[in-house]
């Protein structure tokens, strides 16, 4: 990867006030600790609450994780944003479908967040690499390889939508999303 060109990640959910902004800010914060400036993370919503800040419980979860949402405002998903991304991560299957409807060419670089975390964590993902011990791909090579390991996304790969559903729903969402983000960060550590 050209040092002047950061790897661009786009995270997509529905309103862009819960799941995707949490993933955006969490990933940006953690990936910047590994390699400052090498990654740019953004988010958008398929039916965004344009201009709105994150939901209150998301701000609290972010704070507990060491991230803030200063300057954040929800934005609508647009085809040009998808085209600009090297990797598109979605919260649910419906978001994946919306991304691909808007930009079919994004198929090989679009995954559900938990789906990609599962694939990258699968021991067989790297088993057949030549010289696996010394092979250190960049994100683009890893994503291209991951697309060959995918299967039809299932509900198990989705992150539930907690919006306006109470504290238990936000806790359930965090218990699905944060371990997947940890797995992505862990894989990112091997790419640096």
Q: Which domain holds residue 39?
A: 7-191
The residues pairing with 110 across neighbouring beta strands, listed in sequence order, are 88
Q: Give domain status of residue 131, yes or no.
A: yes
The pLDDT tens digits for 56-110 are 999 999 999 999 999 999 999 999 999 999 999 999 999 999 999 999 999 999 9
Name which of 43-47, 52-56, 117-121 the model is least confident about.
Answer: 117-121
Rounded CA-CA distance 56/20 in Å is 14
CATH number of the CATH domain containing 36: 3.40.50.2300
Closest CA relative to residue 65, chosen from 165, 157, 166, 170: 170
Question: By the 8 A CB rule, do 176 and 159 touch?
Answer: yes
Instruction: Kindly indicate the confidence band of residue 145, based on its pLDDT and cuts at 50, 70 and 90.
Output: confident
Q: Give domain status of residue 1, yes or no.
A: no
Rounded CA-CA distance 101/136 in Å is 33
pLDDT at 126: 59
Closest CA relative to residue 192, chosen from 4, 67, 41, 31: 31
Count of domains for the chain: 1
Q: Give domain status of residue 2, yes or no.
A: no
> What would the two tokens of residue 37 be?
């400036």
Rounded CA-CA distance 153/156 in Å is 8
Instruction: Kindly indicate the confidence band of residue 42, based on its pLDDT and cuts at 50, 70 and 90.
Output: very high
- The answer to pTM > 0.75 is yes
């Amino acid at each position: 990867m050209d040092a002047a060109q950061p790897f661009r990640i786009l995270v997509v959910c529905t309103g862009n006030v819960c799941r995707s902004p949490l993933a955006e800010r969490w990933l940006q914060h953690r990936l910047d600790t590994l390699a400052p400036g090498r990654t740019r993370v953004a988010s958008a919503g398929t039916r965004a609450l344009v201009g709105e800040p994150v939901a209150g419980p998301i701000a609290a979860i972010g704070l507990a994780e060491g991230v803030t949402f200063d300057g954040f405002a929800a934005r609508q998903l647009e085809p040009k944003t998808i085209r600009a991304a090297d990797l598109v991560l979605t919260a649910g299957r419906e978001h994946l479908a919306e991304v691909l409807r808007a930009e079919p060419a994004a198929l090989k670089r679009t995954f559900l967040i938990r789906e990609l975390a599962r694939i990258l964590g699968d021991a067989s993902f790297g088993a057949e690499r030549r010289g696996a011990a010394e092979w250190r791909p960049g994100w683009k090579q890893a994503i291209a390889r991951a697309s060959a390991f995918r299967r039809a996304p299932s509900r198990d790969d989705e992150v539930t939508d907690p919006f306006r559903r109470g504290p238990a729903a936000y806790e359930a969402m965090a218990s699905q999303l944060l371990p997947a983000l940890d797995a992505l960060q862990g894989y990112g550590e091997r790419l640096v």
